[in-house]
Amino acid sequence: MASWRSRLRLRRRRPAGPGGPPDFIGVGAQSCGAPWWHGLIAEHPRILRPIDGREGAGFFDEFSQREMTDADIARYHARFVRPEGCLAGEWGSRYLADAWTPPLIARAAPEARLLVILRDPIERYLAALRQRTREVASPDDPVLMTDMINRGRYATQLRALRAFVDPERILVLQYERCRADVLGEYRRTIRFLGLPDDGFVPRRLRRAARGETGPRGYVRALRAAGLPEHVNRRWLRNAPLRLLRGQRVEVPTELWPELEASLHAVLDPEIAALRDLVPELDLSLWPHFAHLREGVKA
Partner 1 sequence: MAAGTGKIDTGPPDFVGVGAQRSGTTWWFRTLLSHPQIRPPRKGRKELHFFEPYGARPMRDEDIPRYHDLFPRRPDQIAGEWTPRYMADAWTAPLLKRAAPDAKLLVMLRDPIERYRSGVVHRATRSPDARAEIVARDAIERGRYTSQLRGLLEVFERDRILVLQYERCRLDPIGQYRRTLEFLGVDDHVPEDVQRLRGTTMQSGKKPLWPDLQEALRVTLGPEVRALVEIVPDLDLDLWLNFSQLPSDDGVLA
Residue closer to partner 1, measured from CB, 19 or 152: 152
Q: Are strands 47-48 and 113-118 parallel, antiparallel or unpaired?
A: unpaired
Residue 3 or 64: which CB sits closer to partner 1?
A: 64
- Contacts for 59-66 with beta carbons within 8 Å, 24 or more apart? 59/90, 59/92, 60/92, 60/95, 60/98, 60/100, 60/101, 60/104, 60/105, 60/108, 61/94, 61/98, 63/100, 63/101, 63/104, 64/98, 64/100
Residues 116, 192: contact at Cβ < 8 Å? no
Nearest to partner 1 of 86, 172 (CB atom)? 172
Shortest distance (Å) from residue 238 CB to partner 1: 20
Nearer to partner 1, 66 or 203 (CB): 66
Tell the smallest beta-carbon distance from residue 143 to partner 1 (Å): 5
Q: Write down the least CB distance from residue 8 to partner 1, Å.
A: 29
Q: For residues 48 and 271, which CB has a smaller minimum distance to partner 1 in the complex?
A: 271
State the Cα–Cα distance between residues 242 and 206, nearest whole angstrom.
Answer: 33
Name the minimum Å distance from CB 72 to partner 1.
11
**Residues shown for the chain:** 298
- Smallest gap from Cβ 164 to partner 1, in A, equals 8
Beta bridge partners of 24: 89, 113
Work out whether strand 113-118 and strand 87-91 pair parallel, antiparallel, or are unpaired. Answer: unpaired
Q: Minimum distance between the CB of residue 117 and partner 1, rounded to whole angstroms?
A: 20
**Cα separation, 100 vs 58, whole angstroms:** 12
User: Which residues bind to partner 1, rule: CB under 8 A?
Assistant: 58, 61-68, 94, 97-104, 107, 129, 139-140, 142-147, 149-150, 153, 155-156, 159-160, 163-164, 252, 256, 258-259, 261-263, 265-266, 269-270, 273, 276-277
Contacts of 180 (CB under 8 A, 6+ apart): 285
Q: What is the CA radius of gyration of the chain?
A: 20
Residue 58 or residue 202: which is nearer to partner 1 going by CB?
58
